[in-house]
Amino acid sequence: MFDRNLMDERGSAERVMKQPIPLPVLLLVLTVTTGLIDAVSVLGLGRVFTANMTGNIVFLGFALAGQPGFSRLRSLAALVAFLVGAVIGGRLGARLAGSQRRWLFTVAVVESSLLFAAALAAHGYDGETLAPVARLYALIALTALAMGVRNATVRRLAVPDLTTTVLTLTLAGLGADSPLAGGSNPRWRRRVASVAAMLGGAIVGALLVQSVGLAWPLALIGAVTLLATLAYVAHPADGEGGEGAPKRSTRGGIVDPKVASRRPSHMYIGMPLQVLLADDHPMLRHGVRALLERHGVEVVAEASDGRAAAAAALELHPDVAVLDIMMPLLNGIDAARAIAETCPDTQVVLLTALDQERLVTEAVSAGVRGFVLKTQAEEDLVQAIEQVSRGGFYVGGGVSQAVVEACRAAAAQDHGRLTPRERQVAQLVAEGKSTKQVAALLGITPKTAEFHRARVMKKLDVHDVAGLVRYAIREGLVAP
């Protein structure tokens, strides 16, 4: 009995350790370390910001105006080093975009190494006299480089209200989206937590700088950055998909296994799914919202008609839109079509009824990827949202076999279908053109060309240029 209890306790502990860490939690931890960095740089490096470049530009303006206590050279050194770090961070993100875990691990190692080097440089440095000068500028350069790498990475992650560095838009959103301004403030907890994290980091940083100098705070920032990121990448939330054709799950869903294990490109390990909910019955909306929130899904907006749903999707770009098939002003199918045109990364789940199955072919052509009966919503809706967010199709229990077959056909046709622009990019890449050359030939920016290239490889399920060349030859885009 004792052994069994011990095994149960160990099993429980292992399950807890294996729980994925949400990305917002990691970013909040990094926000705390930014408060620490600001304390080190402003209090110990002579009124210079090495993380917050808005503040640094303001300090540079003060210095240029001749205000005492501010230095043009220190602020410029921080600015240049930050930009170099951002370039490094941007290149790491572009080169390692195919593997999020390796990318974030590499960034954490680079950033923490720079911070550990700064901790070593801080030995023998006097923050009161800012001497020796060589160590002062070494500290400015190393910390600004690290923060440039971090900010480039966080910018690529693009998590709303969690930049880890600047709180201006976070605070603006807290007020502008509040009930006082007529909003629902769906992310108020995250925004408040971000402000509290920065404030807490600044308080702790100031106390540490005052009591122990700069070396230990810098070492602490490096260690926290590295360990928090390692803990995050060690427990991915993405599932594993099998091979084969789309099929019905044990609970009624069908999903394309080639894409079932992949989140959309903007989704990262552990991020909560963001959902738009549209139905003209307030009580049903409130019940569905409560159901989704119990399962950790974030409802970012509600709408009572199809036009409002399409407008909300365009503004918020949620991961999934859950639409009632019958709504005023614009029905669910036409709303789905509008969302597919303006927000291609937003997947649509349709709430339907038994006597509306004849509309399934039209719904699939409009871009709907999930069908759930209203009578089965409590059992099927969460699973439907999860599956369509990974790129699959879902059909809930109780929906007819005709709907299943229609979705099977749509899934088979959908995989590998490229837009005309994507076919152009595929051909040019297969011909050996670089991203810059593709951009110049098509009259688009390199960033847009890179986006199209990533979309092509994701749609075709290829992982290198050789695979893309084979596809281009097979499709007659290039000569063998």
The DSSP annotation for 329-343 comes to SS-HHHHHHHHHHH-
User: Residue 26, SS3?
Assistant: helix
Q: For tokens 């019955």, name the residue.
A: 281
d(CA 17, CA 12): 9
Distance CA 454, CA 378 (A): 36
CATH code of the domain containing 438: 1.10.10.10
In angstroms, what CA-CA distances link 132 with 123, 155, 223, 296?
11, 35, 26, 52
Tell me how far apart the terminal alpha carbons of the chain are, to the nearest angstrom: 68
Rounded distance, CA 32 to CA 453, Å? Answer: 36
Locate 178 and state its tokens.
């509040």
Residue found under tokens 């076999």: 401
Phi, psi angle pair for 301, to nearest 5°:
-165, 155
Is 112:174 a contact under the CB 8 Å cutoff?
Answer: no
Are 200 and 327 found together in one domain? no
What is the per-residue pLDDT for 66? 94
Check whether residue 217 and residue 284 sit in a common domain: no
| Closest C-alpha among 212, 165, 196, 195 to residue 44 | 212
Q: Give me the domain span that covers residue 139.
A: 17-233
The residue from 365, 395, 414 where one domain ends is 414
pTM: 0.55
Write down the pLDDT at residue 31. Answer: 95
**How many domains does the chain fold into?**
3
With H, G, I as helix, E, B as strand and everything else as coil, classify residue 372.
Answer: strand
User: Does residue 144 sit within a domain?
Assistant: yes
Tens of pLDDT, residue by residue, the chain (480 residues): 334 443 444 444 444 444 556 778 889 999 999 999 999 999 999 999 999 999 999 999 999 999 999 999 999 999 999 999 999 999 998 887 657 778 889 999 999 999 999 999 999 999 999 999 999 999 999 999 999 999 999 887 767 678 898 898 889 888 887 778 876 666 788 889 999 999 999 999 999 999 999 999 999 999 999 999 999 888 644 332 333 333 333 344 444 433 333 344 334 334 578 899 999 888 888 888 888 888 778 888 899 888 889 888 888 888 899 998 888 888 888 888 888 888 877 889 988 775 455 566 677 777 888 888 877 766 678 888 888 887 777 877 655 555 556 555 555 555 456 666 777 888 888 888 888 888 888 777 787 888 888 888 877 778 788 888 887 777 666 666
pLDDT at 10: 44
* Residues 202 and 61 reside in one and the same domain: yes
Backbone angles phi, psi at 373, to 5 degrees: -70, 140
Give a yes or no: residue 240 inside a domain.
no
Give the pLDDT score at 257. Answer: 38
Please check whether residues 336 and 198 belong to one and the same domain: no
Residues 353 and 350: their CA atoms lie apart, in Å, by 10
How many Å apart are CA 455 and CA 468, to the nearest integer? Answer: 12
Query: Are the beta carbons of 371 and 396 closer than 8 angstroms?
Result: yes
Does residue 260 sit in the same domain as residue 385? yes
Residue 324: C-alpha distances to residues 393, 448, 467 (Å)? 17, 34, 40
Structure tokens at 215: 């070396």
Q: Answer yes or no: do 274 and 320 share one domain.
A: yes
Rounded distance between C-alpha atoms, residue 188 and residue 474, angstroms: 51
Q: How many helices (H) and strands (E) does the chain have?
A: 20, 8
DSSP H helical ranges for 327-477:
332-342, 360-365, 377-389, 401-414, 420-430, 435-442, 446-460, 465-474
Residues 259 and 216 in one domain: no
CA dihedral 461, 462, 463, 466 (to 10 degrees): 180
Please check whether residues 45 and 187 belong to one and the same domain: yes
Return the closest-CA partner of residue 360 out of 375, 347, 373. 373
Residues 80 and 223 in one domain: yes
Check whether residue 100 and residue 189 sit in a common domain. Answer: yes
Q: Are both 278 and 323 inside the same structural domain?
A: yes
Is the domain of 117 the same as that of 255?
Answer: no
